[in-house]
Amino acid sequence: MKKYYFGPESIVQEICITLLARGHILLEGVPGVAKTTLARYYAALLGLSAKRIQFTPDLLPSDITGMRIPGPDFQSQKFIPGPLFTQVLLADEINRAPAKTQAALLEALEENRVTVDGTTYALYEPFFVLATQNPQESAGTFLLPEATIDRFLIRIRLGYPDREQELSMMHAHHVIPPLPAPLFSATQLVETQALVERVQVSEPLMRYALSLVRATRRHPQLELGASPRAGLALLRASKARAVLQGRDFATPEDVRALAIPVLGHRLRLSYEAENRGVTPESIVHRLIQDLDLI
């Protein structure tokens, strides 16, 4: 990926973790920090069918789910699948879409299916969403519902590149590399995902992750703490990280490494904390330091 993306290697690793854990990922950052480029080249590396949706304020639910149209005899109806029917979906600037369209995306994220005119259609396997969004203060954006945000296993905030990374981008800007050859097949991916399910999580590690999640619910600077789903997501991501590192067991380091990207976007700051410039990430970091290690 270094040939196509000049940012931190940790971001590429977190995308791998999300994929192996059968989750979806949210990339957040100002325009121009390679969110779309990262997602596009990653989809090519996976060797899976991929589609892109550019979310806009006038995008309708049927534009992404598909629609039913009359058949040739006008007595029956035919379903025309929308771009959600793919294995890898690049959902670009999802917070520019209105609430109804976001709700259609939520069903796909949550249930791996869509409902059109009362009929439910299963999506493909695997189904992996790389979504991008601009910061909420950007013009023309809608606030993503917490239910939608909670369905993303990991959120990555992409900041501006450092000096050397930006210089590398300038050197390479006149050469657009072709899409990379696939590194995986769908069968290999499913087999690797199955390994994640078999990773062992000890009882002490489970209690450690639980303590971290529950600590967010009583933190004075948080209006909304992490849900039980967040705890399950943290363990699932930790198991995927273990597989990436060649282990069949998860460790406290897996939990600590993924606590911020898994929990950060699920927390809502209090009004006072937000005004003081506190971030959810800083709170999770402090909670990790405060908890007794196993």
Q: Which domains does the chain have, with CATH numbers?
A: 9-172 (3.40.50.300), 198-290 (1.10.8.80)
Enter the DSSP assignment of 142.
Answer: -
The whole-model pTM stands at 0.87
Tokens 């796909």 locate to: 108
Contact 4, 180 (CB under 8 A): yes
* Contacting residues for 177 by C-beta, under 8 A, at least 6 apart: 3, 4
* Contacting residues for 161 by C-beta, under 8 A, at least 6 apart: 6, 7, 33, 169
Question: Is the pLDDT reported for residue 278 higher than 80?
Answer: yes
Specify the pLDDT at position 181: 75
Residues 190-244 have pLDDT tens digits of 899 999 999 999 999 999 999 999 999 999 999 999 999 999 999 999 999 999 9
Query: Cα–Cα distance between 17 and 241 in angstroms, integer?
Result: 6
Specify the pLDDT at position 291: 86
- Which amino acid is it at 30? V
Provide the mean pLDDT of the chain.
87
Question: Is the pLDDT reported for residue 294 higher than 50?
Answer: no
* Separation in Å, CA 129 to CA 2, 77, 83, 142: 22, 29, 12, 19
* Mean pLDDT confidence for 257-271: 96
Specify the pLDDT at position 238: 98
Enter the DSSP assignment of 144.
Answer: P
Specify the pLDDT at position 293: 55
Contact 1, 42 (CB under 8 A): yes
User: Residue 22 — pLDDT band, cuts 50, 70, 90?
Assistant: very high
Q: 79 has which bridge partners? A: 68
Rounded (to 5) percent helix, strand, coil in the chain: 45, 15, 35
Q: 116 has which bridge partners? A: 119
* Mean pLDDT confidence for 158-163: 78
* Mean pLDDT confidence for 55-76: 86
* Mean pLDDT confidence for 35-49: 76
Q: End-to-end CA distance of the chain: give it in Å, rounded.
A: 35
Contact 76, 119 (CB under 8 A): no
pLDDT > 70: what percent of the chain? 89
Question: Is the pLDDT reported for residue 118 higher than 70?
Answer: yes
Q: How many Cβ atoms are within 10 Å of 157's Cβ, its own excluded? A: 17
